[in-house]
Structure 1
Amino acid sequence: MFQKILIANRGEIALRVLRACKELGIQTVVVHSTADADAMHVRLADESVCIGPPPSRDSYLNIHQIVAACEITGADAVHPGYGFLSENAKFADILAAHNITFIGPSGDHIRVMGDKIEAKRTAKRLGIPVVPGSDGAVTEEKEARRIAAEIGYPVIIKASAGGGGRGMKVAHTETDLEIALQTARSEAGAAFGDDAVYIEKYLEKPRHIEVQVFGDGFGGGVHFGERDCSLQRRHQKVWEEANSPALNAEERSRIGGICAKAIADLGYSGAGTIEFLYENGEFYFIEMNTRLQVEHPVTEAITGIDLVHEQIRVASGGGLSVRQEDIKFNGHAIECRINAEDPRTFTPSPGTITHFHTPGGLGIRVDSGVYSGYKIPPYYDSLIGKLIVHGRNRVECMMRLRRALDEFVVDGIKTTLPLFRDLVGNADIANGDYDIHWLEKYLAKGE
């Protein structure tokens, strides 16, 4: 097991990893920008190192400063959390060159899955069902028209190196295709420095289903069930739950088994999430995230297994603590992402939190690194906390969620709490009857 882990992140995920390390008796080092000097994870860590000014490129994305912090403090491993450098293959390679363990997959696996075209090819080879579309990057309009005609309109054009909805355009007709292709390529080049795009069939009313997988680093793999992440705004997840209200036990077992076998065949090490669009009983691969997900707590709630503990165990060479037959699903869990944003316009709302009170009681968990008097900096993601609720079934979970949202108090800034209080009382949400377009339509109606 590791002696000292450096946590290369900030906010609630840094605190989440820090807690896991303390439970395992591992010394912790956190890095921080000057803007985060008063952050909770900095206060609680055994050691902290300031690595630069507020802009991420000068601090949390500064690989040389993070490696230097490892060498100064004697950290023998780095946990990247999510975001920032968590899916940076170069970072993983550099750490390996310095004999520092990256708590995550190999740089090669990060590269393969970070390239959406290569990821799709790899998924297909591993037996994972994929969305019909181009086999690789599409460079000419003539080729795009041929592929679109073969798979049928509407189609979606996506950036190969993309994410978060950038470089992504829908074409409903051949007339739309030329403009969509040019726009997607332009956005992709500006956002990612790579204008390669590919085409897929656009599904009209799919759900977003993702399967939590783990590879043991020795050719074995398991799955921890699925999460439903269909409530999204601009391709950003807002509300996640496990298990999905749309799947039955047979579908859950089938897709989980496919994903676990694929991870084993790939020789993957650590946590990963294989993401699908699901429509009419069929799963279609869209991407794989080679890191811990923001929404991992709902999986922990229904399995009782600490996924960060598993990450650390696998990275240290200890393999997984559970076999597939040991993983049981108990009840239902929902996570709401509480952001420092206007609940209707989603405009960021940095500032000082004057009063912060979290809900409690059976089945309630809040992952957050903020506190009363904490000043939300304007430089980073607006997530300030996650409310995770667990119940014996979905009905009980929704009842507890409604009560917990009423108890949650964040004063001094605007947050998305009012949005969730609206959603929890909506009939479609209560019935689990929604798809990836539902939330944006709901917001557009101003309900």
Structure 2
Amino acid sequence: MKTKQARHHLYHLAHRLTFSAILVFAVVLGFSFPVAHAAPHTAVLSDNLSQAYLDVAYVATVSTDGNPYWAAQSFTTQSSDYVITSVALRLSKTSGTSGTYAVQIYTVSGGKPGTKVADVAANANAGTLSDFTPGSSSPIVSFTGLSIALSPSTSYYLVVRPMTLSGMVTWDYTNSTSGIGFPSNFSGSQNNGVTWSDPATDMPQQMQIVADVPPCISTGSTAWSSSGTWSCGHVPNGTEQVTISTGHTVLLTGNVTQNSALTLNGDVNTTASYVLTLGSSASVTGAGDVIGTVRRTNPGTGSALQFNNRYTTINFATAPTQMDLKLTKSAPSGLDRAIGRYYTLTPTGSVSATIQLAYLAGEVPGAPFNEVNNALWRYNGSRWVLQGGMVNTTNHYVSLAGVDTFSDWALSDSGSPTAVTLASFKANAPSFDLGAWLRSWFNR
């Protein structure tokens, strides 16, 4: 079954068999070459669905020796993308076909299909396929919502085999070996997968296989730069999703750039020497922090960019060429009743922005601290200056618009500050200007 003539022989064989005793299959997999990511965490391993239609392959449940026929096409995972998320094939059926077929993934053994490692579809309903129209491409049938973890940089076969099928299922093939991941090997079996034909690369079946990047999950409070720190077995390459597990603090021993999802169930500590740079595709989730310096370079305007945690953001109206935001997890000196953290904002270039600085619920001091009155304070080089802001007591952050001066920023409920200055703070009541009253009082 490795040549065009062999496949046409199978076609004629299928038509000679009793219609109720026939089953048809065909499956595709592509040999993977490095390809551009279709999305930040997704790669197409194999895709020739857009190649010109040539004909269809018929795979029968019963051949001349009374055995069923299975079909297989190879594909290869990438070094980082190896969790299969979707498979698509061009499939149809002859009128009256019923029953089920399976789409499965097999290892490669001696260049041929080896043993099954996963089901793409254990019992797919052939009755839902469109009827075959001679000379026309079959519709694309997609199997989505998958999460099949394979090994990186490894070849596999996608196998289509009959289960309870009665009738014929057709699978389109092309005479083009172009497409992502092609050419790749085709093989067939006429004895329930006991033996397989020698692989061939001509006239591949039409298919698409999409894979995702599994997250690199921390396994302990060790160095980011150590492969042993990560469940993926290697140091994250910057485009892989990274998850810091609950209770872990991963330490930077050098500068790191992360341009993918960063889930902070635990913490990252950049230490005093290093910087974690978040790229334009980076996002931050989870309840943890990046302790130390987080950098954004050439940030855009008009959207909130995350920094040291999911709720610490800056929305630039005028953007700098670089913004560093350093989180220190200790109470700021000289400011009473302060949250046990402060931020140092250091832009390169002119800035105007809305800043939102977050804190953890466990960092809120006890009475007489009142979180409803929590506000932002900026250190001007000699004292803390009250800036105000809008507090969110559910997600625990304070935001302030129109900020164009940067240094150390802290959070306090405005109670009993030591060595402070007040900056335009108004009470909610429209008839009473608290800031004016306090200035008048202090000027006596």
TM-score (norm 1): 0.22
Bigger-Rg structure (1/2):
2
Q: Which has the larger helix fraction?
A: 1
TM-score (norm 2): 0.23
Q: Which has the larger strand fraction?
A: 2
